[in-house]
Amino acid sequence: MLAATADEETLRTRSRSIPRGRVSAPEEQAGAVLYLASDHASMVCGQALDVDGGALLGWYDPETYVRRRGASR
């Protein structure tokens, strides 16, 4: 959704904050949905599956980390 609506600079900036280095493709999101809807996930209950390339792990490039956390180098 971001790739379809954001300009190139926003995509570059956002991609730098994702450990995998890019936003996910629709097919990658669909893969997670298909897994959860399949028999392979029959014992999966009450989980949040983040298909975000690690964006929610709290990883940032050093400049962003310092700015957001107020940390010193």
How high is the pLDDT of residue 44? 93
How high is the pLDDT of residue 60? 62
How high is the pLDDT of residue 73? 45
How high is the pLDDT of residue 71? 53
11: how many CB neighbours lie within 10 A of its CB? 15
Q: Which parts of the chain register pLDDT below 50?
A: 72-73
How high is the pLDDT of residue 29? 93
Helices assigned H by DSSP within the chain: 2-5, 8-16, 26-37, 62-69
pLDDT tens digits, one per residue of 34-51: 999 999 999 999 888 889
Domain range list for the chain = 2-69
